């Protein structure tokens, strides 16, 4: 069987082995055409079919209503931090932002370059261990949109609810939890996600945007960052990240075969219950996040004594449990358990954690 390690990387993250095998089988000769997907014109019938199928599969997976455009863009989620205000925030307008960690902070700091930003709520008051309830938010009267991050990849803080903002378009960074469970797209004005966690390889960011929000870009908005131009050109105003888009399509096919986002929700719940359950039982490992805000995708945890961190990581590595080191800004450990990380990986991690605790605890 496979010699592949269990990869707990936060991103670029583990991809389903079946997807990689399929890509490998098709690498030199895609479906008898005698060339690789990487070598095809993005305007060729073959590639357009690949791109359209990927979009349709994503639409099926998330039941995306027909009045939403799906864009396959470049520049990562970080470029969206600027692209969103350039497209949606009028020069004299105000946008509301909810700050729950490093990524939502980065997005609002970038947005400040383009206009008036109101920080409607911040998890700082809770040391980033909990999400302020909506009754604590100070929303603007006429916000152009409200932005939040549904899952903070570094802090391990995730919304298990969708904000209620009436007619104000809800804009969400779902980079690290899209496709991990069912989602009511119609609640949102715009959803964006860097691909390299639950979608595919890096080089791609997926934007799902309600049609009435197109065509509002500022005059200074660069052509390449204008959603309407991207939408009108089928995300091919310029050469798209063709291979990343193709591989993401293979991931969508794989997801459908697994039973879609409903099946992922079940699997992801079992994984996070196992890991948090063990951490909570143990006196050696801790996770400080409020139970209802704990991320299903990124589980940060600390050892009782940080001097043991190095031995823990070395022991994990030796067992093929890779990339458990926490983000450099917070230290400790972090296990990212996206869709492609199976229950067997989490079982292997918990077995190792148990063994390490017995030895060192
Ligand atoms: N938002 C979130 C929630 C993320 O986790 C990341 C990347 N880890 C980003 C934004 C930035 O993504 P990118 O590197 O694609 O710009």
Q: Can you give the pLDDT at residue 329?
A: 86
Residue 197 annotated in active site: yes
Report CA(175)–ligand 1 centroid distance (Å): 6
Q: Which atom of ligand 1 is nearest to the CA of 195?
A: 15
Report CA(191)–ligand 1 centroid distance (Å): 13
- Give, to the nearest 10 degrees, the angle between helix 309-318 and helix 343-360: 130
**Which residues fall within 8 angstroms of residue 183, CB to CB, at 6 or more apart?**
62, 174, 191, 261
Residue 103 annotated in active site: yes
Question: How far is residue 346's CA from residue 335's CA, in Å, rounded to a whole number?
Answer: 9
pLDDT tens figures, 256-299: 999 999 999 999 999 999 999 999 999 999 999 999 999 999 99
pLDDT tens figures, 147-186: 999 999 999 999 999 999 999 999 999 999 999 999 999 9
Q: Can you give the pLDDT at residue 280?
A: 97
DSSP one-letter string for 45-97: HHHHHHHHHHHHHHHHHHT--TTEEEEEESSHHHHHHHHHHHHH--TT-EEEE
Q: Which of 73, 76, 330 has the most ligand 1 atoms within 8 A of CB, as the residue to mutate?
A: 76
Q: Is the dihedral of CA 153, 192, 102, 288 positive or negative?
A: negative
Report CA(193)–ligand 1 centroid distance (Å): 8
Atom 4 of ligand 1 has which residue's CA nearest to it? 175
List, as own/partner pairs, every contact residues 353-358 make where C-beta atoms lie below 8 angstroms and the sequence separation is at least 24, other chains included.
353/278, 353/282, 353/285, 354/278, 356/311, 356/312, 356/315, 357/282, 357/284, 357/285
Q: Can you give the pLDDT at residue 334?
A: 98
Pseudo-torsion of CA 172, 97, 213, 297, nearest 10°? 0
> Can you list the residues of the chain whose pLDDT is less than 70?
1-2, 361
Q: Can you give the pLDDT at residue 2?
A: 58
Q: How far is CA 318 from CA 5, 290, 323, in A?
A: 10, 32, 12
Pull the structure tokens for residue 146. Answer: 């409200």
Ligand 1 binding residues, C-beta < 6 A: 11, 76-78, 103, 149, 153, 173, 175-176, 194
């Amino acid at each position: 069987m496979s010699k592949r390690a269990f990869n707990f990387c936060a991103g670029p993250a583990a991809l389903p082995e079946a997807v990689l095998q399929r890509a490998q089988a098709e690498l030199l000769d895609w479906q008898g055409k005698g060339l690789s997907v990487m070598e095809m014109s993005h305007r060729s019938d073959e590639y357009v079919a690949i791109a359209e199928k990927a979009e349709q599969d994503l639409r099926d997976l998330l039941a995306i209503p027909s009045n939403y455009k799906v864009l396959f863009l470049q520049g990562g989620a970080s470029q969206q931090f600027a692209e969103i205000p350039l497209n949606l925030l009028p020069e004299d307008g105000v946008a509301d932002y909810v700050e729950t960690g490093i990524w939502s902070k980065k997005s609002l700091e970038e947005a400040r370059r383009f206009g008036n930003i109101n920080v409607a709520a911040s998890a700082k008051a809770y040391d980033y261990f909990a999400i302020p309830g909506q009754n604590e938010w100070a929303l603007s009267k006429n916000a152009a949109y409200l932005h939040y991050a549904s899952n903070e990849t570094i802090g391990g803080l995730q919304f298990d609810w969708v904000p209620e903002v009436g007619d104000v378009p809800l804009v969400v960074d779902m980079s690290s939890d899209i496709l991990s469970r069912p989602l009511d797209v119609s609640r949102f004005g715009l959803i964006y996600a860097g691909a390299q966690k639950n979608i595919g390889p890096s080089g791609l960011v997926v934007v799902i945007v309600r049609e009435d929000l197109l065509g509002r870009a500022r005059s200074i908005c660069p052509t390449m960052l204008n959603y309407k131009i991207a939408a009108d050109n089928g995300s091919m105003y310029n050469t798209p990240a063709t291979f990343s888009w193709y591989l993401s399509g293979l991931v969508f096919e794989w997801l459908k075969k697994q039973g879609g986002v409903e099946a992922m929700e079940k699997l992801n719940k079992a994984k996070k219950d196992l890991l948090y359950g063990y951490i909570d039982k143990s006196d050696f490992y801790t996770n400080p996040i409020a139970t209802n805000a704990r991320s299903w995708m990124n589980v940060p945890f600390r050892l009782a004594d940080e001097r043991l961190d190095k031995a823990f990581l070395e022991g994990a590595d030796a067992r093929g449990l890779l990339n458990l080191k926490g983000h450099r800004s917070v230290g400790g450990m972090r296990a990212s358990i996206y869709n492609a990380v199976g229950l067997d990986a989490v079982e292997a991690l918990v077995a190792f954690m148990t063994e390490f605790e017995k030895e060192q605890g």
